[in-house]
Structure 1
Amino acid sequence: MEKFDAIVIGSGQGGTPLAKKLAGKGRKTAIIEQRYIGGTCINDGCTPTKTMIASAKVAHTVAHSEKWGITTPGFTVDLPFIIARKNDIVLRFRNSAAKGLTQTPGLTVIYGSAAFSGEKIITVTSSDGGEQQLTAPLIFINTGAAPHIPNIPGLEEVPWLTSTTLLDEVTLPQDLIILGGSYIALEMGQLYQRLGSNVTIVETSPQLVSKEDPDVAAVIRNFLEEEGIRIYTGATTTGIQPTTAGIQLNLITGDTHTSITGSHILLATGRTPATAALQLQNTGVTTDERGYIQVNDQLETSVPGIYALGDVKGGPAFTHISYNDHLLLYKNLFENANLSVLDRQVPYCMFTDPQLGRIGITAHTATREGIPVKIACLGMDKVARAIETGTTTGFMKAIVHAHTGQILGAAIIGTEGGEIMSVLQMAMAGGVTATQLRGMIFAHPLYTESLNNLFMTLEK
């Protein structure tokens, strides 16, 4: 058994920088990776999807170029080229991350599947069946999550895709049915609709992106439907079956029974934590009923010295949260920072076109919790930059404390909505009030300049 000072299981966006920092502090460290260095973000998530979304954006712009006075005779979509471009960028990022690990003194990279065989004993099984045992007083679990496969009658009888496998399909799905109506589903739906698929989205909740305010969900639904995507909400899939025409889904929406047929099905119904293979019962680390590792507000599990970071612990499943997890752990362990996950902001962005940038609480949350607020709202059709660029879909919305003027949350639907949201995030962090932003000088004619006008709506 090889002894280390620290072991990191999983090389995602939290595990990789943490392992490097641990080794940099003189700790003999091992990082174990079952598949590819870089985790979901680089290999299956952010990097490949945003690369392909860029291609879809170009296709959409060319298809509607007459809107800007440009006439094109036509165009073709070269999906194999798009996939190859995506793969090249993924490989570049992955190799860079792997090089950073292997060149770190005091850090050992081990490929294989990790499982606990004792409280702080890990057995790693390599692809050829070989085994080695490791132990360390500090263990960090960063194994992430994988696409959830729902229990639907007949699903086992048809081929289906996930957000991982779809990205390697070099033949464009003719009629793509997507089960799920949240961030991954909507990004993928618009992406493939723009590349030429006929997309149908089926969501069980009454609205898309169920965690967002209804007005946000309504605008998103509207622009997706305007692009030709069919959307069913409040729809339960009762069965799936192969037919001569393709794959048939049987739905119930209210009292209505409907059948729809597609050539492909994408399962985008959430994520499942990658904990089953860890054999956590051998170490006493507790999980919830869905398999997510339970941690305290400083990311320590039920076993002292064992921590979890990233998607495997539940909570906000975003790359930037995983990265922040590693900073919290490092600062608490080596700088006595006493940081807590309860104190941090959770910004996020959905990369549809236009984007949804989100920070802080929603209006619905404010009402539910009895927080006195004012709502500032400004349509993108009132934003000079949006009018000039011909991208007026969406709105800016901010939740402002009625008494202090502090910004409590924001939703920005619009071109570069995530960037505009980030300005409001910094204002929230710095205690800059709505009144101050209303009078602040921004460069003209940025999208952000219209924050002046957004907060002027509070005066009406």
Structure 2
Amino acid sequence: MTGKTRTWGGNTITDEHYDTIVIGTSQGARFLPVELAKAGQRVALVERDQLGGVCVNTGCTPTKTMVATARLAYQARRGAEYGVRTGPVSVDLVAVRERKRAMVAGAQQNYASRLAQDGLELIEGEAHFTGPKTVEVAMTHGGTRHISASTVIIDAGTRPRPLELAGAGEVPVLDSTSIMELSELPKHLIILGGGYIGLEFGQMFRRFGSEVTIIQSAARLMMTEDEDVADEVAAILRDEGITILTSSTPVRVQPAGGGHLRLTVRTQDGERQLEGSHLLSAIGRIPNTEALSPEAAGIRLDSQGFIEVDEYLETSVPGVYAMGDIKGGPAFTHLSYDDYRTLQSNLMRRGKASTRDRTVPYTMFIDPQLGRVGMTEREAAAQGRAIRVAKVPMSAVIRAIETGETRGFMKTIVDADSGQILGCAVLGSEGGEIMTMIQIAMLGKLTYTDMANAIFTHPLLAEGLNTLFAMFDDA
């Protein structure tokens, strides 16, 4: 590490110079700084909050830990269906929270252990640009540091979008982070937003024992999915006792006495009022770009405040890159990890790895899971593709029948001429795992005939793929 002197704001500043600065510590930044340091670089890793970013602290690890508890409670209540006698089932939310906290602490410790690498320095504080490759850090424990580098990588992530609703400042409003810290079960949880976050928490707290109402301004849930998929998800949630109001716009919220709140909603049938104990805002996320002062570096943002990058993840400033959620697009941990692989190849091996046309799978962890990869039927039609569609209910899959998990369906889209698989949606028991098998088939350029004729172990859920792909020949 060397020092460089420059002038900023009329003052002479001495920079500590590194080879690379990484701002933020999400999934991608979990690996890249370590790899760069192992290669002999001097690396500064700046983090203002908790190591591990959203996934470790407030996203994947804690939510899926709590989803597991919710599923166990749901299954316990179904015991009689399987000939198992159980007593009344209740959930201790404090115990659930403590189990979640322990999982997060373990993940944080594992993360921190990876950073013990010569040449890698963790700097705790808030970073903002003072130039294209110069950064000032307001240290967590006081003071400032001025650092610079030949390469800067931004991995500062996103945060829940604030709720802009009349009266929101007068009542407690939960977000996807604070709801996991509750110590008492909500009597009636009202959720604003019918996307993945809202649906996962909605089903979770319904299974914990809360009354749940989901408010969606659009005409249906999950607007990026095909209509039949969204309708089936809605039917599953309603079957569990969740109230879903679509085409409904929140107008205002106000205290209702007794610690409750009253939400006014504009529906197609006029205004109606809902009274609840808790309000969860699940209306999306925004990028953590303001505090970075990107304008001082000349970094270009899009209309939503996300950092614009090219297919190599380079920003409008040469030598400055962005990875993970802060660059926009699908906000998935596995996509952040693929960003890491792209940058590792290009920065360390002089490769030309690109993010262009990469296929991104994802799973929504409601129960049953929704696994998705490739094109939806609607997307294929919008592109004018000649396609064929096959669909099989999970009630036709032997393993699903045996285990009593028959809700949902498997659906796949193939090219009408070549038979190549273009995409799938698997809404069913272990839907994400089954989707991954189809993704691998897509990566291997297998046709629907290959899948129809493959030998899958009986009786597994995967065996249903024979039935699904054989439908093209039966049509």
TM-score range, shorter chain: over 0.9
Q: Is 2:456 the partner of 1:436?
A: no
CA RMSD after TM alignment: 0.9
* TM-score, length basis structure 2: 0.95
Letter in 2 for 1:135: S
Distance in 1, matches of 2:182 and 2:47, equals 25
Matched with 1:207 is 220
Listed as ranges, the matches of 1:406-425 within 5 Å are 406-425=420-439
- 1:253-268 equivalences under 5 Å are 253-268=267-282
Contact in 1 for aligned 2:90/2:208 (Cα 8 Å): no
Amino acid in structure 2 at the alignment position of 1:435: T
Task: Write the mapping of 1:28-43 to structure 2, written as runs, cut at 5 A.
Answer: 28-43=42-57
Cα contact 2:176–2:282 (8 A) shared by 1: yes
1:213-232 pair list within 5 angstroms: 213-232=226-245
Alignment of structure 1 residues 190-205 onto 2, 5 Å: 190-205=203-218
1:223 aligned counterpart, secondary structure: helix
The 5 A counterparts of 1:27-426 are 27-101=41-115, 103-244=116-257, 246-426=260-440
Report the number of matched residues: 459
d(CA) in 2 for partners of 1:451, 1:73: 38
Deviations 1:23-60 (A, max 9, x none): 11111101111111111001000000000110111100
State, as a whole percentage, how many aligned pairs show the same letter. 44
How many angstroms does 1:197 deviate by? Answer: 0.8
Moved over 4 A (4+): none
Offset at 1:341?
Answer: 1.2
1:199 Cα shift?
A: 0.7
- In the TM superposition, residue 359 of structure 1 has moved relative to its aligned partner by 0.1
Query: What is the CA–CA distance in structure 2 between the aligned matches of 1:385 and 1:336, rounded to whole Å?
Result: 48
Distance in 2 of aligned mates of 1:170 and 1:359 = 37
In structure 2, what is the Cα distance between the partners aligned to 1:338 and 1:408? 26
After TM superposition, the score normalised by the length of structure 1 is 0.98
| Residue aligned with 1:288, SS | coil
User: In 1, are the aligned partners of 2:202 and 2:214 still within 8 Å (CA)?
Assistant: yes
Provide the residue aligned with 2:11 in structure 1.
Answer: none
Secondary structure, aligned partner of 2:418: coil
Give SS of 1:35's match.
coil
Q: Report the secondary structure of 2:121's partner residue.
A: strand
Amino acid at match of 1:222: A
> Could you tell me how far apart the structure 1 residues matched to 2:377 and 2:167 are?
40
Q: Aligned with 2:311: secondary structure?
A: coil
Instruction: Compare 110-119 and 374-383 and name the one that shifted more.
Output: 110-119
Aligned partners of 1:45 and 1:418: how far apart in 2? 17
Partner of 2:10: none
CA–CA distance in structure 2, aligned partners of residues 144 and 421 of structure 1? 27
Q: Equivalents in 2 of 1:241, 1:217: separation in Å? A: 31
Letter in 1 for 2:234: R
Q: Unaligned 5+ residue runs, structure 2?
A: 1-14
1:255 Cα offset (Å): 4.1
User: Could you tell me how far apart the structure 1 residues matched to 2:419 and 2:317 are?
Assistant: 43
Indicate the residue corresponding to 2:3 in structure 1.
Answer: none
Q: 1:440 corresponds to which letter in structure 2?
A: A
Q: Is the partner of 1:162 in helix, strand or coil?
A: coil
- The amino acid across from 1:458 in the alignment is F
Distance 1:416 1:202 in 2: 27
Structure 1 residues not aligned, in runs of 5+: none
The residue number in structure 1 matching 2:4 is none
1: CA distance between counterparts of 2:195 and 2:247?
A: 13
How far did 1:254 drift? 1.9
Q: Which moved more, 1:40-49 or 1:289-298?
A: 289-298
C-alpha separation between the residues in 1 aligned to 2:395 and 2:31?
42
Q: How far has the Cα of 1:83 moved from its partner?
A: 0.7
Asked whether the equivalents of residues 262 and 274 of structure 2 are also in contact (C-alpha less than 8 Å), the reply is: yes
Letter in structure 1 aligned against 2:102: D
Residue 127 of structure 1 and its aligned partner are, at CA, apart by 2.3
User: Partners in 1 of 2:187 and 2:125 — Cα distance?
Assistant: 38
2:463: which partner in 1? 449
